[in-house]
Amino acid sequence: MAYTQLTMKSRGFLETKRRDAWWLMPAVTFVVFGSFIVYSTWAAFQGANYSWGPYLSPFYSPEIFGDSPHALLGKIPSWIPAWIPFSPAFLILWAPGGFRFTCYYYRGAYYKAFWGDPPACTVGELRTGYRGEKKLPLIMQNIHRYFLYLALAFLLFLAYDVWRALWFPDGAGHEKFGLGVGTLVLAVNVILLGSYTFSCHSLRHLVGGRKDKLSDSPFCQKAFACTSAMNKKHMLFAWLSLFWVGFSDIYVRLCATNVIHDFRIF
Ligand code: FES
């Protein structure tokens, strides 16, 4: 059989024959994801204006210690030295942050956007060797499945916050059932974060079976098919939930600082 010997020529950094705008998605990812990291870090350091009435910002939920009525264990303990900057968000934000940071989709996106490794498919990169994610430090990304367990627990807290957001103080020391725009904002937040979490690649493995084999259980097979179908939209859920969780914090913060007034639907 006739054959031709082809020699592979390695490309220089950013060298490519592509004529499309391959740099656009990494650039958008850099701006949007970078802005989210900057904003969420700023919001976490504020330690104030994270709750208003029955609403609690998702960046601070669950509030373990804090000054708001949502705090599960009461005020900030006195044994925490005053010189240590403290915010209730510090105790919890690492979990959803770690879940997002180790997400299979985001990894592919921010490896390209933040350090160009690779910049895009068939675009030359700086490195000549490929280590994959089998060695330190990137092998740490395998922790993702454990962050998934935490993310599932966080969804329960956020759903409970929506329930709490239906009960408004009536001014006479009681609570009255109602619905505000903020309630809807927090409800959409749970739906989007739930869609992002339930479309997680690791969840497919968790529900589908063990040791690279699909379970024989019809329930597991259905669950696997369902999470697999959702996984096709994982990128969409990733961006929508990122945007909305930031927006939810902004909404509560603007209500708490009296910049806007929450509209009560009933
Ligand atoms: Fe994206 Fe698990 S793969 S959250």
**Averaged over 227-253, what is the pLDDT?**
98
CB of residue 185 inside a 6 A radius of ligand 1: no
Please report which confidence band the pLDDT of residue 12 belongs to, taking 50, 70 and 90 as the band edges: confident
Mean per-residue pLDDT, 57-80: 95
What does the radius of gyration of the chain's CA atoms come to, in whole angstroms? Answer: 23
Query: What is the number of other CB atoms lying within 10 angstroms of the CB of residue 37?
Result: 14
Matching residue, tokens 């204006």 = 49
CB 106 within 8 A of CB 25: no
- Beta carbons of 40 and 93 less than 8 angstroms apart: yes
Which residue's CA is minimally distant from atom 2 of ligand 1?
A: 200
Cα(107) to ligand 1 centroid in Å equals 9
- The pLDDT value recorded for residue 47 is 95
Q: Which two tokens stand for residue 223?
A: 């669950």
> What average pLDDT does this structure show over 7-15?
80
Amino acid at 109: A
Within 10 Å of residue 184's Cβ, how many Cβ atoms?
15
Q: How confident is the model at residue 132 (pLDDT cuts 50, 70, 90)?
A: confident
pLDDT at 263 over 80: yes
Give this prediction's pTM. 0.93
Site to probe by mutation for ligand 1, drawn from 104, 110, 149, 198 as the one with most ligand atoms within 8 Å of Cβ, is 104
Instruction: Return phi, psi of residue 214, to 5°.
Output: -70, 135
pLDDT in tens, 179-235: 999 999 999 999 999 999 999 999 998 898 777 788 889 999 999 999 999 999 999
Cα separation, 42 vs 151, whole angstroms? 22
Report which ligand 1 atom has the smallest distance to the Cα of 151: 4
- Which of 101, 103, 204 is the pocket-test mutation for ligand 1 (most atoms within 8 Å of CB)? 103
Cβ contacts of 243 within 8 Å, gap of 6 or more: none
Report whether residue 241 contacts ligand 1, using a CB cutoff of 6 Å: no
Question: Is the CB of 101 within 6 Å of ligand 1?
Answer: no
- Residue 104 Cβ inside 6 Å of ligand 1? The answer reads yes
So what's the pLDDT on residue 128?
A: 77
Closest atom, ligand 1, to C-alpha of 231? 3
Nearest residue to 137 via CA among 158, 169, 159, 115: 115
Task: Name 210's bridge partners.
Answer: 213
pLDDT per residue as tens digits for the range 138-184: 899 999 999 999 999 999 999 999 999 999 998 888 999 999 999 99
Q: Best-predicted range by mean pLDDT among 71-85, 122-136, 237-251?
A: 237-251
200: Cβ below 6 Å to ligand 1? yes
Distance between CA atoms of 67 and 47, rounded to whole angstroms?
Answer: 9
CA–centroid distance, 97 to ligand 1, in Å, is 12
Q: Tell me the two tokens of residue 53.
A: 């009435």
